[in-house]
Structure 1
Amino acid sequence: MIKAVFAAALAFSLSAAAPALADPAVVMAPGGAGGGYDAMARLPFEAMSKEGIFTDGATFTNKGGAGGTIGLAEFVGANRGNDNAVMSMGVILVGGILLNSSPVTLDDVTPLVRLTNDTGVVAVATDSPIKTVDDLVKAMKENLGAVSIGGGSAGGVDHIVMALIAKESGLEPARLNYIPYDSGAEAVTALGGGAVTVAVSGVSEFKPMADAGRIRIIAVTSEGRVEGIDAPSLKEAGLNVVVGNWRGIVGAPDMSAEGRTMWLDRFAKMHDSTAWKDILAKQGWEDAYLAGDDFVAFLNDEKTRIGAILKEAGLTK
């Protein structure tokens, strides 16, 4: 009897002393599988797991469409107050919210970190008669509607790039023949199959395709040239267009102060880790780390900036 009582007491003592296992993270990617938001959702957790920063696993959901606002609405509706829920996002979602007049906005989530910037590229099929930016502009001026353009969601950064190219060329951005795809991989397939004349996406998505000979890059959207890509910047080619595709992570609506601090600490450790630096190099992403209140301030500025660009480009009123 004494042994049974002692054993029960010991078991209670051990269970009380043992830390509770954390629940797996709930992670939303508001874009298709294989796209930029998908990678931004999954790879930080890969790095954190490898470094022992967060090892409790994660469940991932992809929900693309309407510039990411469909995924955003589902994330907000299902995870209010959930400290374990996070979502990948970026400049494309900022534009998508405005273009789709989404009732759910980034004011409904908890901004955590900006992690990367992905320089954009403008590409054509390898056998395309369009070989330079001048060729592209000439074709657009001859028949704007005949130049079909593949890219991410309508109103996203890819669309903005082409709208600004049109505007700089004296054309009406609202008349672009823009065809949105859920991911850069789908845009490459469309380009290779002749479904579109030109496509826009990030270096991380298009450079491997160009290196494999599937597409030809004719310009990059950064201030200057990008190492490893034999193409000028749009600015170098004579168009005053510089656009970056930044991405980051937000938390659930009504995330607690403790939950926010917990994630900010995890991402700070991840950002300094070797595993994350290796991922940046492999993906071709630029380190654009900005956390906490600094990210909140940046995000507020971006809402104003992107809103002005979309209005000027004729994409919103």
Structure 2
Amino acid sequence: MRRDTFLKSMAALAAAGALPLSARAAAAVKMMIPANPGGGWDTTGRALGKALQDAKVADSVTYDNKGGAAGALGLAQFVNSAKGDPNALMVMGAVMLGGIITGKPPVNLSQVTPIARLTSEYNVFVLPSNSPFKTMADVVAQLKKDPGSVKWGGGSRGSTEHIAAAMIAQKVGVDPSKINYVAFRGGGEATAAILGGNVTVGGSGFSEFAEYIKSGKMKPIAVTSAKRLNNVPTLKEQGIDVEIGNWRGVYGGPGITDAQKKALTDMVLAAMKTKSWQESLEKNDWTPAVMSGAEFAKFVDDEFASLRATMVKSGMV
């Protein structure tokens, strides 16, 4: 093959995103984070960005935070700005599904391209240190007596801690539509409400409450995982058959080709193998939950249907 023909062929493959990682120049990745700085999606997006650069599959990563409506505002901007862009990524997860179900925004995930699930972070339920309750059994007893008297504090309506509270009620024989859930716009607001005793029980990812648990300002009473986290008992071992993870993943832009989708997926999977990503998992108490391709797309569809069914029963929809 003539050299000029070869170069043209390589250029065409590069443009299509079909070259193997080793043969392509590192990309300039644009990361949409559909949340305000400092929360779980922001931490995930920036940790992934660093890992992409450490894996030498991204030359640079720029971040765009667009919070609001459980991620729907960021999703709308991503749909409009990332069409056909092979280097665009958007952080998303279980909370976005809940937001789409409750908020019914004009955009949805079918308009963008599923790439991979990255992690799952399980929720911990905590009591303020001065609470009259000591255990989840105490909370459940009060819930059965007077559902409205137990104020559950956590993230936005439709968040995993909101759904977990509804599932707990359902499993212990309480009408889930009667739970008194107080939604906060961010982890800082929820933390302040718990520490101030303004809610009965609070829920969030373990990493958000870790320092307060360690200092004794919050008492952990249950985790939503299958196994104990930091020796906190699971809901299941306390006789409440509930397990739910706040998983997070990434999507690509609308209208990218199959070859570009594969190239973007390969980049993300390469990032998962870096030392910096492993350090992020440990630091943030994230459980690795890597899934890609058709398996991930099916998982999102199934999760959407399951969450919707729970939320309808709970009166959230």
Give the AA of the match of 2:47. L
Q: Tell me the SS of whatever aligns to 1:217.
A: strand
Deviations 1:239-271 (A, max 9, x none): 111111111001111123343222111111111
Which of 47, 52, 56 aligns to 1:43? It is 47
Q: Distance in 2 between matches of 1:37 and 1:98?
A: 19
Contact 1:151 1:181 in 2 (8 A): yes
Q: Distance in 2 between matches of 1:246 and 1:24?
A: 26
Calculate the aligned-residue CA RMSD, in Å. 2.2
Q: Distance in 2 between matches of 1:130 and 1:192?
A: 14
Would you say 1:193 and 2:196 are equivalent positions?
yes
Q: Which residue of 1 aligns with 2:281?
A: 280
How much does 1:21 deviate? 8.1
Deviations 1:267-303 (A, max 9, x none): 1111122221111111111110001222112112112
Contact 2:27 2:57 in 1 (8 A): no
Q: Tell me the SS of whatever aligns to 1:27.
A: strand
How much does 1:102 deviate? 2.4
Q: Distance in 2 between matches of 1:201 and 1:225?
A: 16
Would you say 1:144 and 2:147 are equivalent positions?
yes
Contact 2:84 2:255 in 1 (8 A): yes
Contact 1:188 1:215 in 2 (8 A): no
Contact 1:28 1:63 in 2 (8 A): no
Q: Which residue of 1 aligns with 2:5?
A: none
Deviations 1:215-240 (A, max 9, x none): 211100112322x23x3111111111
Contact 2:127 2:221 in 1 (8 A): yes
Contact 1:31 1:183 in 2 (8 A): no
Q: Tell me the SS of whatever aligns to 1:242.
A: coil
Q: Identify if the C-alpha distance between structure 1 residues 255 and 180 changes in structure 2 by more than 3 Å, giving closer, same or farther.
A: farther
Larger Rg: 1
Q: Distance in 2 between matches of 1:293 and 1:86?
A: 18
Q: Tell me the SS of whatever aligns to 1:241.
A: coil
Q: Distance in 2 between matches of 1:94 and 1:259?
A: 25
Q: Which residue of 2 aligns with 1:245?
A: 246
Structure 1, gaps ≥5 residues long: 1-15
Q: Identify if the C-alpha distance between structure 1 residues 49 and 212 changes in structure 2 by more than 3 Å, giving closer, same or farther.
A: farther
Which range moved further: 66-75 or 239-248?
A: 66-75
Q: Tell me the SS of whatever aligns to 1:236.
A: helix
Q: Tell me the SS of whatever aligns to 1:52.
A: coil
Q: Tell me the SS of whatever aligns to 1:55.
A: strand
Q: How many residues align?
A: 296
Q: Distance in 2 between matches of 1:76 and 1:285?
A: 28
Q: Which residue of 2 aligns with 1:173?
A: 176
Q: Which residue of 2 aligns with 1:5?
A: none
Q: Which residue of 2 aligns with 1:301?
A: 302
Give the AA of the match of 2:293. G
Give the AA of the match of 2:58. F
How much does 1:77 deviate? 2.4
Which of 110, 132, 156 aligns to 2:113? It is 110
Contact 2:118 2:288 in 1 (8 A): yes
Contact 1:38 1:62 in 2 (8 A): no
Kindly, what percent of the aligned residue pairs are identical? 36
Give the AA of the match of 1:39. T
Give the AA of the match of 1:255. I
Would you say 1:160 and 2:163 are equivalent positions?
yes
Give the TM-score taking structure 2 as reference length.
Answer: 0.86
Contact 2:31 2:90 in 1 (8 A): yes
Give the AA of the match of 1:132. T
Q: Which residue of 2 aligns with 1:292?
A: 293
Q: Tell me the SS of whatever aligns to 2:131.
A: coil
Q: Distance in 1 between matches of 2:193 and 2:73?
A: 23
Q: Which residue of 1 aligns with 2:123?
A: 120
